[in-house]
Structure 1
Amino acid sequence: MAARPDRFRRAVVRAGLALLLGWQLVAAAQTAQTAPPAGAADAVAGAGAVRFGILPLGGAFESRNDWEPLLADLRRAIGRPVTMLSVTSYEALEQAIQRDQVDMAFLSGKMALDAVTLRRMKVLAQVTRHDGLPGYRALLLARKSGPRSNLKDLLSEPEKWRLARGESRSVSGFIVPQLQLFLPNHIAMETRFRSELVGTHQVTALAVANDEADVATNNTADFERFRQQFPAEADRLQVIWESELIPHAQIVIRRDYGPEFEKKVQLFLVEYARGKSPRGDSERAVLKSLHDLAGFVPADNSSLLPAAKLAYQLARQSAMTSQWVNEAARQARLQRIETTYAEQVAALRAGAP
């Protein structure tokens, strides 16, 4: 096999180092002070560090560098330490949230939904982007040249394609492509492809660019960032499918904090990069490097209703296309899905003002 390009080798090395760092951070967090119990928030509002968890969109090192300037500004605004947990997988971040090792987090879709409905967190704000759209799109990427480069061939013979995809909790890396493209064509992403590589959007795009995979899930925001960081590799790629719009990610906070503290944090986020001053210019530069964000808008738990609907649709579609021992078992599963969705919708609406 030909040697991989130097840039790809460096990316793999960074990913390995980032994985080590991510798990070191999780291990360190296990010994940290846990979040205060419900009802004790006001008493501790000025004590202890706020632990901020970051959804892994690129490498752990890259994420830490991107978020550090904004979190430094947040420290000054709220007058207390803010520490960062940057990991390399959705699972690692979810485990940290389950262990009460995260007080605030940048999350999208399914992870934000689970944090709010299962882990005593609430939505404070939602990100916005410069294109003004209320969301982004999932993508499928393939090489521009080669025997496997178009959607028709992919759908007709998926077992001949090597897939690079996101984790099962990733909205654009798994949930939306599965729901909107593959399951309607009777293809289960986990079982129908010749091989499968699971990683971040950067890793999946590099895999296709360097012929380690034939098709990759991605999204419009991360692929634009990939074009800036890896222009030569991006030039080898083409988009063969786009999804419907997916709502942007949210900032969530543990409900153990009192309303006054929540309002202070929300105000910081909403006003960030809005000023017409050198400081505002500096903050806009921070957001530009942070996945090209434009800012934040106030949001509540009801902003997760689209994510709940996506999860519901995927669960229902999977139940309809799976094999069951009998029809009664399928109907029982469908009823549980309906009940869970109704409970989630009620909980999310109850969390709105």
Structure 2
Amino acid sequence: MKKSMYIAAFICLSIILSACGSKAEEAEGPLLDETFTIGVIPAQTVGAMEEAMDKLQSLLSEELNRKVTVDVYPDYNGVVEALNYDKIDMAYLGPLTYIIANQKSGAKAIITQEIDGKPYYHSYIITYEDEPWESLEDLLHTPEEVDFAFGDPNSTSGSLIPTIELQKRGVFDSQEDHDFHSVRYTGSHDATALAVQNKQINAGAIDSAIYHQLIESGKIDKEQLKVIWKSEELFQYPWAVHKDTNEETITRLQETFLSIEDEEILEAFGASGFTKASKEDYRNIEEAAKQQGIINE
């Protein structure tokens, strides 16, 4: 009889301890085998970002107490679709691609990078130093002589903003309907910069932060290029999470990014640090996207 009572008591104690253990695990955070997936747009060519992304992956894995994977996607649209179809939990997007993802799937912007302490950048139009143009007005005196390039079609600074500017000036409507000698899409900002430097095109649109980053890293030569147009301020690229992400995870992510000081990670984004972001910061891009019919009113 006593033996049976001891067995029963042991079973009850085991159940209680097991329950306490489960609650303790929940309090500490998600289990280690729950992978948190992040997709990153190709701000530069894929190979240039891989090592920094490995370091970011390790840092986030430690801070979130779960396995984290960071993958650089080959194009902007791939990241948006991955977020929309629940393939990833978080994405590093351009402002335009974030607005598209927000409308399609409710993605939430939570963080962005700062450049020299400010969360803004510009769209530039650059040309080769030896070209006679000192301004966009100069270039557009003879657009029929100009081979022009945008970056990715879904890029904010590499496509959306310069497209609107060139439409206002009456020289561009689409890749098929324009006044230039030719128009192409290079797919990335560094590809545009190199195409201008190598005189494969006469002028191209590029992200200002990436342009300066490419100069500082020696990938392009400042002496061979010049900026002939600069847009108004644009709020920096957001990191956006899936709409169902819980507040605890969002807070951990924000705290982790705000504490990053690793130069290699920061340099991959041309950043001096990170700061919080929200949808309100991208209202002007949302209006531009509506204007172009990219998203619905």
Q: 1:97 to 1:216 in 2, by over 3 A?
A: same
SS in 2 for 1:302: helix
TM superposition shift of 1:235: 1.9
Of 243, 246, 251, the residue aligned with 2:234 is 246
Of 300, 317, 323, the residue aligned with 2:278 is 300
Of 256, 272, 275, the residue aligned with 1:268 is 256
Q: Deviation per CA, 1:31-55, whole angstroms, max 9, x where unpaired?
A: xxxxxxxxxxx9x943421111112
CA–CA distance in structure 1, aligned partners of residues 67 and 287 of structure 2: 36
Q: Deviation per CA, 1:253-292, whole angstroms, max 9, x where unpaired?
A: 112232222222222222333xxxxxxxxx2x23442233
Q: 1:232 to 1:91 in 2, by over 3 A?
A: closer
- Matching residue of 2:16: none
- Matching residue of 2:121: 136
CA–CA distance in structure 1, aligned partners of residues 85 and 50 of structure 2: 21
Letter in 2 for 1:209: Q
1:184 aligns with 2:178: no
| RMSD across aligned positions (CA) | 2.4
- Matching residue of 2:289: 311
Scaled by the length of structure 1, the TM-score of the pair is 0.69
Scaled by the length of structure 2, the TM-score of the pair is 0.81
- Matching residue of 2:137: 152
Q: Deviation per CA, 1:71-127, whole angstroms, max 9, x where unpaired?
A: 211110011111122122112222322332121111121111122221232122122
TM superposition shift of 1:306: 2.6
Q: Deviation per CA, 1:13-45, whole angstroms, max 9, x where unpaired?
A: xxxxxxxxxxxxxxxxxxxxxxxxxxxxx9x94
Say which is worse superposed, 163-172 or 287-296, in terms of deviation: 287-296
CA–CA distance in structure 2, aligned partners of residues 214 and 304 of structure 1: 31
SS in 2 for 1:125: strand
Q: 1:231 to 1:89 in 2, by over 3 A?
A: closer
Letter in 2 for 1:136: Y
SS in 2 for 1:100: coil
Residues 54 and 63 of structure 1 are in contact (CA less than 8 Å); yes or no, is this contact kept in structure 2?
Answer: no
Q: Deviation per CA, 1:284-310, whole angstroms, max 9, x where unpaired?
A: x23442233122222333223232122
CA–CA distance in structure 2, aligned partners of residues 112 and 232 of structure 1: 28
1:286 aligns with 2:264: yes
- Matching residue of 2:209: 221
- Matching residue of 2:182: 195
Letter in 2 for 1:55: I
- Matching residue of 2:66: 80
- Matching residue of 2:5: none
Aligned residues: 265
User: What runs of 5+ residues in structure 1 fail to find an aligned partner?
Assistant: 1-41, 274-282, 317-336, 342-353
Residues 247 and 306 of structure 1 are in contact (CA less than 8 Å); yes or no, is this contact kept in structure 2?
Answer: no
1:259 aligns with 2:225: no
CA–CA distance in structure 2, aligned partners of residues 146 and 138 of structure 1: 20
- Matching residue of 2:110: 124
Letter in 1 for 2:284: P
- Higher relative contact order structure (alpha carbons within 8 Å, sequence separation ≥ 6): 2
Say which is worse superposed, 165-174 or 225-234, in terms of deviation: 225-234
Of 175, 198, 203, the residue aligned with 2:160 is 175
Q: Work out which of the two has the higher radius of gyration on C-alpha atoms and give 1 or 2.
A: 2
Say which is worse superposed, 121-130 or 241-250, in terms of deviation: 121-130
User: What runs of 5+ residues in structure 2 fail to find an aligned partner?
Assistant: 1-26
Residues 208 and 216 of structure 1 are in contact (CA less than 8 Å); yes or no, is this contact kept in structure 2?
Answer: yes
SS in 2 for 1:117: helix
